[in-house]
Structure 1
Amino acid sequence: MTADLFEAVPDVRPPREAMADGAVLLRGFVKPHESELIASLREIVTQAPFRRMFTPGGHQMSVAMTNCGNAGWVTDHSGYRYDGVDPVSGQPWLAMPPVFRALAEMAASDGGFEGFSPDACLINRYAPGARMSLHQDRNEIDFGAPIVSVSLGLPATFLFGGPKRADKPQRYRLEHGDVVVWGGPSRLFFHGVAPLADGDHAVMGRQRINLTFRKAR
């Protein structure tokens, strides 16, 4: 599937930046495929709109979210979890578009994780001022699969720490089209996003969209 989707794209490896053992930043990885990716994204959010969920403690997240794939990440008073049904519509989440899956598989492979097959894509919308506090991705059943994170729109400061919350995070500026892949020894490293600075991206407007691919089940 990957070869069929992207066979016309030259095999040029993007600039790479090692972040930690098992973690790599792929600069501009999305650029050759962004038109198809953004078109699919717009179809998803039209049918499953962004919403700001509440944490189990009752706090509303500053980041708006939606999902696609066999499982979607949700949070409410009962906790953090993956669910096959959109709690807003009561319907199953939309299927993951082929371009989403192919891009995630290619990025994972480029990051050193062959055979990655995501079943969930979390789609986060950051408006100016929105942030994501340091956290670990621990709701997945199998920690052997990596996380693939795609950045679209306004630039953001990505915070990538260590296995303990107290570990000082490194700061990485993520631009439109960048992809971060982490797994293996760094799979449970704490990470987050600093408050988004205001701006106006030529394609995405006054927002940053983050696609996070995972093997949830």
Structure 2
Amino acid sequence: MSEGLFPRERVLVAPGAVHVPAWLPFSRQRELVDACREWGRGPFPYRRTVLPGGGVMSVRSLCLGRQWVPYRYLDAVGVPLPGWLVSLGREAVAEAYGEHGGFAPDTALVNFYAPEARMGMHQDREERSGAPVVSLSLGDRCVFRFGNEEGRGRPYRDVELVSGDLFVFGGPSRWAHHGVPRVFPGTAEPALGLRGRLNITLRETGLP
């Protein structure tokens, strides 16, 4: 794999928002890609989400655990959230903050970005829990735009996310707007077996 001439450094992007480059070893990335592919073959395949106003998201998504629809969670559970993925989420929070704080995600959103896909600036605000959000990147590089709580515009900071990167945001940054304005096609390691970008976000809904 090509990681560049110099190692990328861990960065505190904003209070409570931590970027850990190359957190997932390549073997674990391969396992996650295989799992994402298998989940897509199940009863709830990847689909483009239709928004209440009639717009259609360019990413394709599926949910594990408690199901999300714009802009709420359903009582129903579709594909169960695997225990090993919950454990990985706890490891991720501990990596970012030094301890996992009892992080107990009950939902995961898996987004697939084809080359033309984007994600507009938004808040993850349907959860009743203030627990952090864990984001895992696989495949093509992207620009991840991390903004502020007040609105979708500036100030924001652009971060390059590469396959294997971890991004956790909680505490003062839990309700910050964020999005993906650009994906760089063909930048995934060929041996990963993925054309495009996958993003897995783990969350606590705080619902019974």
Match of 2:13 in 1: 19
Q: Equivalents in 2 of 1:102, 1:16: separation in Å?
A: 22
CA distance in 2, matches of 1:200, 1:50: 22
Offset at residue 210 of structure 1 (A) = 0.4
Q: Is the contact between residue 141 and residue 187 of structure 2 (CA under 8 Å) also seen in structure 1? A: no
**Helix, strand or coil: the match of 2:92?**
helix
Whether the aligned pair in 2 keeps the contact of 1:24 and 1:182 (CA below 8 Å) is: yes
| Counterpart contact for 1:37–1:100, Cα < 8 Å | no
Structure 2 residue runs of 5 or longer lacking an equivalent are 1-7
Give the 3 Å change call, closer, same or farther, for CA 134–55 of structure 1 in structure 2.
Answer: same
- 1 CA distance for matches of 2:63 and 2:31? 18
Normalised TM-score (structure 2): 0.86
SS at match of 2:184: coil
Aligned counterpart in structure 1 of residue 204 of structure 2, from 174, 199, 215: 215
Distance 1:49 1:155 in 2: 24
Q: Which runs of no fewer than 5 residues in structure 1 stay unpaired?
A: 1-13, 86-91
Q: Say yes or no: does 1:134 pair with 2:121.
A: yes
Q: What residue number does 2:148 align with?
A: 162
Read off the aligned partner of 1:125 and give its amino acid letter: F
> Corresponding residue for 2:4?
none
With structure 1 as the length reference, what TM-score do the two structures score? 0.83
The number of equivalent residue pairs is: 192
Partner residue of 2:102 out of 115, 124, 143? 115
Which one-letter code corresponds to 1:102 in the other structure?
S
Q: CA deviation at 1:33?
A: 2.3
Where in structure 2 are the equivalents of 1:1-217 lying within 5 Å? 15-31=9-25, 33-47=28-42, 48-69=44-65, 71-75=66-70, 80-85=71-76, 92-112=77-97, 113-143=100-130, 145-165=131-151, 166-199=153-186, 201=188, 202=190, 203-216=192-205, 217=207
Deviation at 1:204, TM superposition (A): 4.1
- Describe the shift of the 1:81–1:208 C-alpha distance in structure 2 as closer, same or farther (beyond 3 A): same
Q: State the Cα distance separating 1:167 from its structure 2 match.
A: 2.8
CA–CA distance in 2 between the matches of 1:52 and 1:40? 20
CA-based RMSD: 1.7
**Greater share of residues in strand:** 2
1:81-122, Cα deviation, whole Å (9 max, x unpaired):
11243xxxxxx4111123311111101111114211100000
Counterpart amino acid of residue 96 in structure 1: L
In structure 2, relative to structure 1, the CA distance for the partners of 1:72 and 1:204 (3 Å cut) is farther
1:9-36 per-residue CA deviation (whole Å, 9 max, x = no partner) reads xxxxx95211111110011112252233
- The whole-number CA distance in structure 1 between the counterparts of 2:22 and 2:185 is 21
Any idea what SS the aligned residue of 1:128 has? coil
DSSP-derived class of the 1:206 partner = coil
Please say if residues 40 and 97 of structure 1, whose CA atoms lie closer than 8 Å, have aligned partners that are also in contact: no
Distance 2:187 2:10 in 1: 26
Decide whether aligned partners of structure 1 residues 204 and 168 sit closer, same or farther in structure 2, where only a CA change above 3 A counts: farther
